[in-house]
């Protein structure tokens, strides 16, 4: 059986998914994927303009999301903020995120993200298991 090999994925080689086509309704580029790298971990980047916000997404065990929102199933997710100021709303409150902050999004909750700054935000995200 062949096993995955180390793979370099330059961001410039991955076309961004436009916000209106992305599952969370903000522009993303999925870099490390099962299809591209054979990985069970998804890693990508996201861009958000000032005032832009995602829909609500869920990592609960059961899909109870209304139309327009998104269910991933139970996944572990992380973000590392490169630039911008973001507000992460979840079932029990709000977290403020800025450059050089990392956040862990535990499975079993719903989340929503908004750019509350005056500049575009850019962050790296990872998710396991990959929803692909």
Cα 43 from Cα 60, distance rounded (Å): 20
Query: Tokens standing for 44?
Result: 């990508």
Q: What is the pTM for the complete model shown?
A: 0.94
Q: What is the pLDDT of residues 30-83, one digit of tens each?
A: 999 999 999 999 999 999 999 999 999 999 999 999 999 999 999 999 999 999
Judge residue 93's burial from the number of C-beta atoms within 10 Å of its C-beta, 0-12 exposed, 13-18 middle, 19 or more buried: exposed
State residue 1's pLDDT score: 57
CATH superfamily for 16-108+120-128 is: Jelly Rolls (2.60.120.10)
Identify the band that residue 106 occupies on the pLDDT scale cut at 50, 70 and 90: very high
What DSSP character marks residue 128?
Answer: E
């Amino acid at each position: 059986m062949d096993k995955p090999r180390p793979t370099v994925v330059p961001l410039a080689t991955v076309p961004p998914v436009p916000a209106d086509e992305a599952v969370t309704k903000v522009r993303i580029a999925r870099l490390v994927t099962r299809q591209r790298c054979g990985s069970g971990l998804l890693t990508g980047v996201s861009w958000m303009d000032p005032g832009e916000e995602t829909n609500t997404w869920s990592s609960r065990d059961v899909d109870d999301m209304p139309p327009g929102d998104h269910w991933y199933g139970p996944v572990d997710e992380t973000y590392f903020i490169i630039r911008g100021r973001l507000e992460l709303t979840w079932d029990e409150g709000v977290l403020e995120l800025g450059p050089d902050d990392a956040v862990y999004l535990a499975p079993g909750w719903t989340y929503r993200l908004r750019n509350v700054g005056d500049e575009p935000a850019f962050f790296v995200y990872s998710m396991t298991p990959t929803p692909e």
